[in-house]
Amino acid sequence: MRDVARLAGVSPGTVSNALNHPEKVSPATRERILSAISELGFVPNDAARQLRRGTNASIGMIVLDIANPFFTAVAHGVEQRLAEVGRPLVLANSGQNHEREVAYLDLFAEQRLSGVLVTPAGQVLDRLRRLRDRGTAIVVVDRKTGAREFSSVSVDDSLGGRLATQHLLEIGRRRIAFIGGPEDLSQIEHRLGAARTAVEEHGSGEIVHLDVPTLDVEAGRTGARELLDLPAARRPDAIFAANDLIALGVLQTLTLRGVRVPDDIALVGYDDIDFAAAAAIPLTSVRQPAVAMGEAATTRLLDVIADPAGSQVEHIVLEPELVVRRSTVA
């Protein structure tokens, strides 16, 4: 910057003003400075700026699994909203790994980010508190876990579970299998709980829970195999998968075994990722407004940043929506 100042024949302070407070500098001087900058290829040093200003404009985001289209959709919403206000996004992937999550949170703390969006994988309340106490705004995404003290944005899992189940009952299915787990995951708990309630309210029908350890395609395959091996009388006529990855695995196994979807077994997924609509037999799915969730979380975060003291904790709950496709009605 000193070089720029020298070339333009002004002091470093004026160069800074030209860049950050253009109204304080006469147009002629400003012009001279700008051309000196481009001539020298000067690029301001962000570290120095941050050090002096005391804040970092960037926003950090820690997602659970970057390979899951649901999370990339959320990230997309975040990115979009941030682009509007010109703040950069630093995206990090914890991969459900607590250690990596902690490492990233520590990194963000050192970087003095102005805000962090996080879907916690492990026990990180203390670290989040410390971050917050040091002036970083926090919003929890897609979780409400114990974090009553932080604003959050999530989707109503009970409603989602109910919508899917009522739909299956309405199209005449009575033996519903729910594939997903583990049950201590709040999402699973709520979706399955609401499904059970819906069956009870309906009066007829039954629901069985097929517990699987993970929420991926392979879990869907093994789950489906297990169901197909049941004696015909106990075989379900509908499957409610805890997410679309599982549903895709189920669909694959059913197809390979020659079971007709939806004729023999109807199938409902959850999330409505792009690949649900792209499946050979397009999946009926409970759509989570992922992009909207990212946007809402970002808006909330920006509010907290703007007024850390004034803004109080807020839990935004978005509504899912059932998207009916060929996997339940031909």
Partner DNA sequence: GCTCGGTCTTAAATCGTTTCAATATGAGCG
Partner DNA sequence: CGCTCATATTGAAACGATTTAAGACCGAGC
Residues that bind a copy of itself (CB under 8 A): 41, 43-48, 50-51, 56, 66-67, 69, 72-73, 75-76, 79, 83, 88-93, 100, 104, 106-107, 109-112, 130, 133-134, 217, 245, 248-249, 251-252, 255-256, 274-275, 277-282, 326
Mention every residue, 6+ apart, whose C-beta is less than 8 A from residue 80. Answer: 291, 294, 295
d(CA 167, CA 174): 11
* Subset of residues 15 to 54 that bind DNA, contact rule: CB under 7 A: 15-17, 19-21, 24-26, 28-29, 42-45, 48-49, 51-54
Contacted by 275, from a copy of itself, DNA, none: CB < 5 to 8 Å by type? a copy of itself
**Per-residue CA distances from 47 to 52, 87, 228, 272 (Å):** 9, 16, 60, 41
Examine residue 1 and tell whether it contacts DNA (CB under 7 A).
yes
How many residues sit close enough to DNA to count as binding (CB under 7 A)?
Answer: 29
3-state helix, strand, coil in the chain (%, to 5): 50, 20, 35
CB of 4 to DNA, least distance (A): 8
CB atoms near residue 97 (< 10 Å): 13
Contact 324, 287 (CB under 8 A): no
Among a copy of itself, DNA, none, partner that 202 touches (CB below 5 to 8 angstroms by kind): none
Residue 239, φ and ψ in degrees, nearest 5 = -125, 130
Shortest Cβ distance from residue 41 to a copy of itself (Å)?
6
**Among residues 9 and 95, whose Cβ is nearest to a copy of itself?**
95
Closer CB to a copy of itself, residue 116 or residue 163?
A: 116
User: At closest approach, how far in Å is the CB of 78 from a copy of itself?
Assistant: 10
Both structure tokens of 196:
């059970």
Residue 280 amino acid letter: A
Instruction: CB nearer to DNA: give 9 or 182.
Output: 9
Pairing of strands 284-287, 321-323: antiparallel
Residue 152, both tokens = 């959050």
For the record, the structure tokens of 219 come out as: 């879990």
13's contact among a copy of itself, DNA, none, with CB below 5 to 8 A by partner kind, is DNA
3-state SS class at 210: strand
Phi then psi dihedrals of residue 287, to 5 deg: -80, 125
16: partner contacted, choices a copy of itself, DNA, none (Cβ within 5-8 A by kind): DNA
Interstrand relation of 266-271 and 321-323 (parallel, antiparallel or unpaired): unpaired
Q: Binds 126, which of DNA, a copy of itself, none (CB < 5 to 8 A, cut-off by type)?
A: none
Least distance from C-beta 46 to a copy of itself, angstroms?
4
Residue type, 86: G
Burial of 142 (0-12, 13-18, 19+ CB in 10 A): buried
Please report whether residue 12 would count as binding DNA according to CB under 7 A: yes
Return the one option of a copy of itself, DNA, none that residue 120 interacts with (CB less than 5 to 8 A, by type): none
The interface partner of residue 245, options being a copy of itself, DNA, none and the CB cut-off 5 to 8 Å by kind, is: a copy of itself
From DNA, a copy of itself, none, interface partner of 91 (C-beta below 5 to 8 A by class): a copy of itself
Under the binding rule (CB under 7 A), the answer on residue 9 touching DNA is yes
Binding site for DNA (CB under 7 A): 1-2, 9-17, 19-21, 24-26, 28-29, 42-45, 48-49, 51-54
